[in-house]
Structure 1
């Protein structure tokens, strides 16, 4: 059964040995169970199995435990005797310790190679979800992306998007004629959300060089699939950023990979830990997108496995597409818990030997209720299973060991240095600087150059005629009127001598003195 990944087995109180057929591994899967029931170890042994079969893996390390995949297990480990006893009990005859090829990644560039994408690749839908925008604000974000495409303004990092939003706010009236109303308040709200995102460290995510998907789909010289581990312990402090990044990665795989139908084995297996973060308070459009990706990406040769505490965390339309399942214990303390437990049990193909609902409630740590797709994609009968022990080190490795592996990685140096080529921010700044320089030059030239028309006008207004003898019998009101008229004339003449006045004179009198 060289095409199968051994998951666990029986013993007197359990059923037959359980295998995941790698030919059906792209039909997706679920690992569920309460905290502390063994989900992380199950994830670890699945990653080992896929790697040994030559299938690259991408997974997120939420608790920092999965780095142990890069190091061989040891007979000095405190659980060595328990591992050997379990291997013997379940009939795991070829059990031995081994390390696996690992590449470490980190959005913040601290515990792994930096992971970046551009704002353009992320797109307005995922960015709107990441920022928690209203429908009106999402509309303005879509306008920004459309303007960027039409004006050739690359959106690479956050400052590109921020600069473009400033420009859109300044040109709102012009844009409204084509795209609809652009509210300054909405633009300001988006800018505030971007600032919050920037403070959470998202500026590290957006930029270049962007991650090449081919770097996640490599095998080592022995033909083993590379296990790509995303450091997510710090990232969990920004759960929306975590969920949006993983969804972006799935979307990129869906859009870029060619159709392969039903391959002999997957091209990549993707594990989405803490999957509930993807669906909590998510708008329907986003859930629909996840469902679409989950439904269609298997034909691209990608298997997606959701890891969560309760199957109810995953929408029914997506849950129905998860054919390979490992269900660890669920606790049922409340009426809601009991209802969810009953619903989880009903999704399995019944086994006449035991009650599925009762088994899910009773299985211990390292045990699970499992069901895997069999020939022709038919779900297997549910079985109680003892999960096999891992071959790699259980628990995290030391920082020195991690750093040594990163330094020896083929990815070392490829993504470490951030690039900052000309994009929307620089282009809009250059336009603004050029316009300001042209305006200043025109202003300076206008103040220095006196046109013939303006010179003749100035000479005309300085004409002094013969004095007029005033009668002493004129009423004071007349003198007051002349004083007001003179004052107004002086004001007008003063204005006409200034820059504004010169522009008016050039416009109005230019034609009168043109032929002189």
Structure 2
């Protein structure tokens, strides 16, 4: 049982109930989601760490967000020399874990900012207008303009990879607002300006580092090591938490990507991935009802992909009822009845458990010690077990953060070392639009020198966006603006192209021109249908 498995039943051991009954989680029901709740300092992090270890030991990959910086210790074994050792070993003896032993776990560190782990990136196209509008806090009108920008980029075969691409596309939409409004609906410069201001705010939060290439491949979250243990993917989120909307939107995007990428598996013998969503209240904070409905849909449908989502939060009433109703496995740590809201939370938590006639659940919630919880999990037949007051097992890995040196060593032997660490900036919407603007400037000069009729007879230099470029070239003001942009394009983004081999450059161009926009539109349509 040192590996976290109850060998008598094959289930994941959680702890020992007050009546001596072993409280365990059935892996066949682990994709039915769960909740870990409790006030600060009551043991939620230790419970999360212990469950993550047990899933990993059974070959189940795990994703968890380290919002306080104290979960990184899961990568290294605990030790009798650490300050928590006596408490851990005492709890193990109390639970009868005679074979308790310290152990490490196969960990890969990730970080949106690339400081404490491998960078996680996605492209603007993959994020799509729906989630991006949520991230930028756009109103309905502004979201409509953003949708037009995405649709127009798809039509023109323009890749939207990073924020520069999106900004260039929005500028182009504003400059061609009349033509676009006639075809797609009103595109006002005021709405474009509001979106641009939101993008600037996102940049100041470091959000621009999230968009670009190489984009995350979900399969890299689903690996096992040579011993058959599932990889524990730890997202360093202490800095990310300073931008709570970015944090919540990122995790929602990740869930959507998992849903779109993974095949249907129904109820497998064990989950494909277990996803711990810490500080889960941020996902629902100030969220409109429509967004809650979308999140509920994602959570409900992703179960069939074999993904278990476990929300971790201080107060159980932070989770909307429609979503809380889908969380079959529950670990409730102590709550404090200091305020009327706290008292409501205690009543709500007590009412969600299957009744135990021998336990006053509402009273017990306020009396639980640190490391003690009320536990109810789904049985083999899918029914919830009777709630039991439970001493939670101690983790085998180190409690608390690891040092920067230890993190660097773990990073150096990561299975994805070098794959995501260097950003790639290939030709995309910004470069194409800048090149076309330069063409427009040159055309304007030719018109002045040779006349419009002569210029019209020469072969076109570009094949898409020609009409808008020609219209832009007709006026002196447009000519002046295009000349400024042309000067920018000559000095930017040349180094990345120069370092690519001819073969890879050709492959990238083919993928960009033929596959990228179409594939991006296809995936967004799937996610869009899911998120609407």
TM range (shorter): 0.7 to 0.9
In the alignment, the residues of structure 1 paired with residue 345 and residue 291 of structure 2 have an alpha-carbon distance, to the nearest angstrom, of 24
Task: Work out whether residues 17 and 90 of structure 1, in 8 Å CA contact, stay in contact via their aligned partners in 2.
Answer: no
Aligned equivalent of 1:64: 69
Query: 1:283 Cα shift?
Result: 2.3
Deviates more, 1:1-10 or 1:181-190: 1-10
In the alignment, which of 119, 124, 129 is matched to residue 124 of structure 1?
129
Query: 1:119 Cα shift?
Result: 0.6
Q: Deviations over 1:69-115 (max 9, x none)?
A: 11001111222222222112112232110000000000000000010
Instruction: Write out aligned runs for 1:216-235 (5 A).
Output: 216-235=221-240
In the alignment, the residues of structure 1 paired with residue 262 and residue 101 of structure 2 have an alpha-carbon distance, to the nearest angstrom, of 35
Aligned equivalent of 2:13: 6
In the alignment, the residues of structure 2 paired with residue 15 and residue 382 of structure 1 have an alpha-carbon distance, to the nearest angstrom, of 13
In the alignment, the residues of structure 1 paired with residue 450 and residue 121 of structure 2 have an alpha-carbon distance, to the nearest angstrom, of 48
TM-score (norm 1): 0.85
In the alignment, which of 356, 381, 400 is matched to residue 386 of structure 2?
381
Aligned equivalent of 1:315: 320
1:134 equivalent to 2:139? Answer yes
Query: 1:446 Cα shift?
Result: 4.4
The alpha-carbon distance between structure 1 residues 292 and 26, as it changes in their structure 2 partners (threshold 3 A), is same
Aligned equivalent of 2:521: none
| SS at 1:409 equivalent | coil
Q: Deviations over 1:478-511 (max 9, x none)?
A: xxxxxxxxxxxxxxxxxxxxxx9xxxxxxxxxxx
Q: Deviations over 1:306-336 (max 9, x none)?
A: 0001111111010000000000011111222
In the alignment, the residues of structure 1 paired with residue 148 and residue 19 of structure 2 have an alpha-carbon distance, to the nearest angstrom, of 59
Deviates more, 1:250-259 or 1:80-89: 80-89
| SS at 2:309 equivalent | strand
1:366 equivalent to 2:379? Answer no
TM-score (norm 2): 0.82
In the alignment, the residues of structure 1 paired with residue 50 and residue 39 of structure 2 have an alpha-carbon distance, to the nearest angstrom, of 18
In the alignment, the residues of structure 2 paired with residue 207 and residue 370 of structure 1 have an alpha-carbon distance, to the nearest angstrom, of 42
In the alignment, which of 303, 306, 331 is matched to residue 336 of structure 2?
331
In the alignment, which of 282, 287, 305 is matched to residue 300 of structure 1?
305
Aligned equivalent of 2:43: 38
In the alignment, the residues of structure 2 paired with residue 79 and residue 256 of structure 1 have an alpha-carbon distance, to the nearest angstrom, of 40
In the alignment, the residues of structure 2 paired with residue 206 and residue 284 of structure 1 have an alpha-carbon distance, to the nearest angstrom, of 28
In the alignment, which of 185, 188, 207 is matched to residue 202 of structure 1?
207
In the alignment, the residues of structure 2 paired with residue 281 and residue 14 of structure 1 have an alpha-carbon distance, to the nearest angstrom, of 42
In the alignment, the residues of structure 1 paired with residue 290 and residue 236 of structure 2 have an alpha-carbon distance, to the nearest angstrom, of 28
In the alignment, the residues of structure 2 paired with residue 5 and residue 405 of structure 1 have an alpha-carbon distance, to the nearest angstrom, of 27
In the alignment, the residues of structure 2 paired with residue 195 and residue 32 of structure 1 have an alpha-carbon distance, to the nearest angstrom, of 36
In the alignment, the residues of structure 2 paired with residue 321 and residue 195 of structure 1 have an alpha-carbon distance, to the nearest angstrom, of 38
In the alignment, which of 428, 437, 440 is matched to residue 435 of structure 1?
440
Deviates more, 1:288-297 or 1:271-280: 288-297
1:288 equivalent to 2:293? Answer yes
| SS at 1:397 equivalent | coil
1:115 equivalent to 2:120? Answer yes
In the alignment, which of 409, 418, 421 is matched to residue 413 of structure 1?
418
Q: Which runs of 5+ in 2 are unaligned?
A: 1-5, 455-475, 477-532
Q: Which runs of 5+ in 1 are unaligned?
A: 450-499, 501-516
Query: 1:14 Cα shift?
Result: 4.6
Instruction: Write out aligned runs for 1:231-270 (5 A).
Output: 231-270=236-275
Deviates more, 1:148-157 or 1:90-99: 90-99
| SS at 1:377 equivalent | coil
Task: Work out whether residues 276 and 308 of structure 1, in 8 Å CA contact, stay in contact via their aligned partners in 2.
Answer: yes
Task: Work out whether residues 55 and 267 of structure 1, in 8 Å CA contact, stay in contact via their aligned partners in 2.
Answer: yes
In the alignment, the residues of structure 2 paired with residue 336 and residue 98 of structure 1 have an alpha-carbon distance, to the nearest angstrom, of 40
Q: Deviations over 1:372-413 (max 9, x none)?
A: 111111100000011111100010111001001101112111
Greater gyration radius: 1
Query: 1:5 Cα shift?
Result: 1.0
In the alignment, the residues of structure 2 paired with residue 230 and residue 288 of structure 1 have an alpha-carbon distance, to the nearest angstrom, of 26
In the alignment, the residues of structure 1 paired with residue 431 and residue 385 of structure 2 have an alpha-carbon distance, to the nearest angstrom, of 58
Q: Deviations over 1:279-330 (max 9, x none)?
A: 0111233212211111111110100000001111111010000000000011
Aligned residues: 447
CA root-mean-square deviation: 1.4
Query: 1:116 Cα shift?
Result: 0.2
